[in-house]
């Protein structure tokens, strides 16, 4: 284990490299989460639809994601898109979106189904279509209930982005791994990288907490 003095020295002398890696980590996480939210909501609707073939299609997607390691999915996206000249950034972003979309689908499905069925009946009795009732009444309530598990999934996505280092993408873990190997001081650089991950996790957790309090205040 490195001494505290040595850790502090490395932390401040390499902040520029780690900050660039942190920005890349944030960028790929933000893009993948944005896409995963649309994927998750889409497959959540398929799961709760009364059309069996659509539910079956959603179940296959979720089973494939849950049944295969994320690193395998990343490699499939990366090497599968080589012929289309897709960058490493978009390969990892799409792989993470594909992976997290399945878990987000289950989060949305559970949240939507937790809303009392009387809410849908009330909307229909007011002359609203099923789709309009879902958009104006059900989804806002379901989103509030989904926030805590969604926040956890966002944090998981952030940490999973470290696997991008295995395809050579420049992000936090890649910086820590490369610099540690170059200086033969792997433990120190891994610990420095861990601090930056803690900062990012705290940032996401703080944003989710703010949103939860905002929604809680609006319900009063």
The domains found in the chain, sorted by start residue, are: 4-218 (1.10.3720.10)
Mark the ranges of the chain whose per-residue pLDDT is less than 70.
217-220
CA angle (30, 162, 155) in 5-degree steps: 50
Q: Which of 173, 108, 116 is nearest to 145 (CA)?
A: 108
User: What is the structure's pLDDT at 27?
Assistant: 95
User: What is the structure's pLDDT at 160?
Assistant: 96
Query: Are 158 and 204 a contacting pair, CB within 8 Å?
Result: yes
Please measure the distance between the N-terminal and C-terminal CA atoms of the chain and give it in whole angstroms.
51
Distance CA 209, CA 214 (A): 9
Token pair 């309009």: residue: 132
Query: Are 70 and 163 a contacting pair, CB within 8 Å?
Result: yes
Per-residue pLDDT tens digits for 159-173: 999 999 999 899 999
User: What is the structure's pLDDT at 178?
Assistant: 93
Query: What tokens were used for 14?
Result: 């390499």
User: What is the structure's pLDDT at 134?
Assistant: 84
Distance CA 97, CA 207 (A): 20
Question: Global pTM?
Answer: 0.91
């Amino acid at each position: 284990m490195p001494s505290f003095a040595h850790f502090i020295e490395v932390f401040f002398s390499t902040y520029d490299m780690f900050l660039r890696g942190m920005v890349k980590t944030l960028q790929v996480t933000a893009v993948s989460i944005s896409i995963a939210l649309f994927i998750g909501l889409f497959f959540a609707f398929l799961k709760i639809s009364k059309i069996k073939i659509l539910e079956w299609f959603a179940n296959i997607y979720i089973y494939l994601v849950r049944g295969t390691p994320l690193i395998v999915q990343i490699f499939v996206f990366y090497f599968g898109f080589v012929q289309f000249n897709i960058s490493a950034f978009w390969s990892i972003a799409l792989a993470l979106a594909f992976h997290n979309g399945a878990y987000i689908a289950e989060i949305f499905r559970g949240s939507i189904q937790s809303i009392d069925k009387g809410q849908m009946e009330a909307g229909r009795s007011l002359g609203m279509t099923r789709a309009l009732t879902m958009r104006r009444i059900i989804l806002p309530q379901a989103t509030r209930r989904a926030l805590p598990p969604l926040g956890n999934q966002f944090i998981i996505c952030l940490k999973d982005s470290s696997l991008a280092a295995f395809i050579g993408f420049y992000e936090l873990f890649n910086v820590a791994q490369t610099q540690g190997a170059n200086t033969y001081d792997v433990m120190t650089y891994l610990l420095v990288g861990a601090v930056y991950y803690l900062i990012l996790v705290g940032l996401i957790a703080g944003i989710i907490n703010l949103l939860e309090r905002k929604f809680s205040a609006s319900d009063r």
